[in-house]
Amino acid sequence: MMRMTETVKQLLIINIIFYVGSQFVASAYPLLSMFYPESNNFRFWQPITHMFMHAPMPNLMHIVFNMFALVSFGSALEHFWGAKKFIFFYISCGLGAALLYTGVNYLQIHFLLDEVASLNLSSTQIHTLLNADYSALFGSDKQMVEGPIKTMLENARCTQEQFNTIQQAASISQGTVVGASGAVYGLLTAFAFMFPNAELALMFIPVPVKAKYFVPVIIGIDLFLGIKGNSLFGSGGTGIAHFAHVGGALTGFIMMWYWKKNQFNKNRWN
């Protein structure tokens, strides 16, 4: 096994520090996870910080898998690329993951909002509804409590079906994404580009498979399960966060294709 390279080692340490620290600092996840840009909780640094955050305890597999992949594939890439080129690629894939994840959320949210366009809600009202705490909207009798949101919906003559649609859009808007998975999927893609005939295997695949087949299949399975609402690696459930994985892989593919086309992949950045 290749020796862990210096930049990979530093990324591993940073991820572990973020993970351990976030278990003890209550405000870490709200501040450093990535929220939808229209959320009241969104901060400009979150597209960067989210890739150093991982699912909280007791979910250890999320960070364990990502760090294992970072060390395994990242060390090989940094060895050939040099530190600067590697970190540029890694961060770019993480940002590409955030961009696609956000783009899919935007499409889903606005598709749902188009279904309730007949309510003629203003942009301010929509923003309020997307950021509302729906768990606090109903009393013990399961009736909506008196307040500005109830008044707003009654004035708009909102039906139960339309309310459910709004609540679904709000659920997406208020969701967060954490993890290095997007950047790691970029590393997987780059590894398959550079070492297509290297044989890889996982626990549920009994025989080694060449990287040029293994990586596209893994990405395809993750995309399929994401759409279906399940997860191959890490946490999931809505199918949306898996587009972050695909975004990282797609960014990695585009960068590797461009570098190869321009013979740029033969240069090291030291």
**Distance separating alpha carbons of residues 134 and 165, to the nearest angstrom:** 13
Beta bridge partners of 210: 199
Tell me, yes or no, whether 88 lies in a domain.
yes
CA distances from 47 to 32, 50, 198 (A): 9, 6, 32
* Tokens, residue 136: 């606090």
* Residue keyed to tokens 């991820």: 15
Render pLDDT for 4-37 as a digit per residue (tens, 0 to 9): 999 999 999 999 999 999 999 989 999 999 999 9
Using DSSP, state whether 198 is helix, strand or coil.
coil
Q: What does the pLDDT profile of the chain (270 residues) look like in tens digits?
A: 568 999 999 999 999 999 999 999 989 999 999 999 999 999 999 999 999 999 999 889 889 999 999 999 999 999 999 999 999 999 999 999 999 989 988 998 999 999 999 999 999 999 999 999 998 888 877 788 889 999 999 999 999 999 999 999 999 999 999 999 999 999 999 999 999 988 876 655 667 888 888 888 888 877 776 676 544 444 434 434 678 888 999 999 999 999 888 765 555 555
Mean pLDDT of the chain: 88
Whether 16 contacts 9, CB under 8 Å: no
**Distance separating alpha carbons of residues 6 and 11, to the nearest angstrom:** 9
The H or E element that residue 154 is part of is helix 148-155
Tell me, yes or no, whether 44 lies in a domain.
yes
Nearest to 158 by CA among 175, 136, 137: 137
Phi, psi for 176 (deg, rounded to 5): -125, 160
* Residue keyed to tokens 């910080």: 49
Tell me, yes or no, whether 136 lies in a domain.
no
Range of the domain at 59: 6-106+175-266
Tell me, yes or no, whether 151 lies in a domain.
no
* Tokens, residue 119: 């309510």
Positive/negative CA dihedral, 73, 91, 43, 126: negative
Structural domain tally of the chain?
1
Tell me, yes or no, whether 160 lies in a domain.
no
Tell me, yes or no, whether 190 lies in a domain.
yes
Amino acid code (one letter) for 146: E
Tell me, yes or no, whether 167 lies in a domain.
no
Render pLDDT for 205-215 as a digit per residue (tens, 0 to 9): 667 888 888 88
Residue 196's CATH number:
1.20.1540.10
Tell me, yes or no, whether 183 lies in a domain.
yes
Nearest to 182 by CA among 48, 51, 61, 64: 51
